């Protein structure tokens, strides 16, 4: 499986020693450009250009910049794998995006900073929008999952594809590499939507729920020392798998569910 308040031209805060620069519109409208020590944002005709310079900054510095250019955004600074540090994750609309225009992010290559990208988002969208900014995770700290799982089988182990292998075989390889293991049952649901679409969800389970001969669909880095295996119970697993649980009851809170 893309407020409106008057801002000074120059603002320095004693607590962060950061300098914020805004270029605003007449009569107190939102700025067209805003920059502080964490991020700079520039509004163009059809998108916002975002450059992240300090991914570990306080989330309020990021929110300050988004709101200065007219976007009502909540930002969470989230633990990330090394190759995802500084990445802008989202936008997430917890209640669903039903508005004119489009919403999304495109990362740009050849960036002189930590992250450069384009954000498409209507400035007048009234709903809640959440972005994440990936910061370096501490040793053993779980990484935040910024995207949906891909049924084609994601891979976390260099030089060792896990897709289609029995759990016992993959477990032995992870133990050989000195890695800890987490398990998720990947439930494929009956297709009751448009042709060609597949519904699925994953359920975090303890090791004793997993059988050695069940098949691994993919893997993900859970932290610096742990890999999660996505295991398909499916009809071929027999009655030991049991019925698929209620997705709402099995789901664990996502990073964007608890917005303060």
Note the pLDDT of residue 152.
Answer: 72
**What pLDDT was estimated at residue 28?**
59
What is the residue extent of each domain of the chain? 10-136, 167-250
Specify which of 89-98, 229-238, 250-259 reaches the highest per-range mean pLDDT.
Answer: 89-98
In this prediction, residues 169-178 reach a mean pLDDT of 96
155 conformational bin, left if phi > 0, alpha if psi -120 to 50, beta if neither: beta
Q: Provide the 10 A C-beta neighbour count for residue 90.
A: 24
Highest mean pLDDT among 2-11, 49-58, 186-195: 49-58
Q: CA 199, 203, 206 angle in degrees (round to 5)?
A: 155
Beta bridge partners of 202: 186
Q: What is the pLDDT of residue 33?
A: 93
Of the candidates 207, 208, 188, 206, the residue with the CA atom closest to the CA atom of residue 198 = 188
List the single range of 7-21, 32-46, 175-189 with lowest mean pLDDT: 7-21
Q: Average pLDDT of 27-46?
A: 86
Cα 244 to Cα 196: distance, rounded to the nearest angstrom: 21
Lowest mean pLDDT among 80-94, 100-114, 200-214, 242-256: 242-256
Q: What percent of the chain has pLDDT over 70?
A: 78
Q: Which two tokens stand for residue 153?
A: 């089988």
Residues near 96 by beta carbon (within 8 Å), at least 6 away in sequence: none
Would you state the pLDDT for residue 1? Answer: 36
Residues 236, 238, 239, CA angle at the centre, nearest 5°? Answer: 150
* Cα–Cα dist 164/153, whole Å: 9
The Cα-based distances of 6 to 32, 67, 69 in angstroms read: 12, 11, 11
Closest CA to 140 of 76, 223, 58, 78: 223
Query: Whole-prediction pTM value?
Result: 0.74
């Amino acid at each position: 499986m893309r407020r409106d308040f008057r801002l000074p031209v120059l603002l320095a805060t004693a607590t962060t020693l950061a300098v914020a620069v805004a270029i605003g519109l007449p009569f107190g409208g939102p700025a067209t450009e805003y920059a502080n020590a964490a991020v700079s944002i520039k509004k163009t005709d059809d998108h916002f250009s975002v450059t992240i310079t300090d991914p570990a900054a306080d989330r309020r510095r990021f929110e300050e910049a988004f709101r200065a250019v007219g976007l009502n955004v909540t930002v969470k600074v989230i633990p990330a794998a090394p190759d995802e540090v500084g990445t802008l994750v989202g936008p997430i609309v917890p209640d669903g995006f039903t508005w004119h225009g489009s919403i999304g992010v495109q990362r740009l290559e050849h960036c002189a900073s930590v992250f450069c990208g384009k954000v498409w988002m209507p400035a007048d969208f009234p709903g809640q929008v959440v972005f994440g900014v990936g910061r370096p995770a501490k040793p053993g700290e779980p990484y935040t999952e910024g995207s949906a799982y891909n049924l084609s089988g994601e891979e976390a182990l260099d030089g060792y594809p896990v897709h289609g292998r029995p759990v016992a075989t993959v477990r032995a390889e992870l133990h050989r590499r000195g890695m800890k293991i987490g398990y998720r049952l990947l439930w494929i649901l009956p297709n009751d939507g448009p042709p060609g679409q597949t519904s699925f969800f994953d359920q975090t389970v303890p090791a004793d729920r997993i059988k050695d001969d069940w098949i691994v669909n993919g893997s993900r880095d859970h932290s610096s020392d742990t890999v999660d295996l996505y295991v398909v119970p499916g009809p071929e697993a027999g009655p030991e798998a049991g019925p698929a649980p209620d997705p709402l009851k099995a789901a664990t809170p996502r990073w964007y569910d608890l917005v303060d």
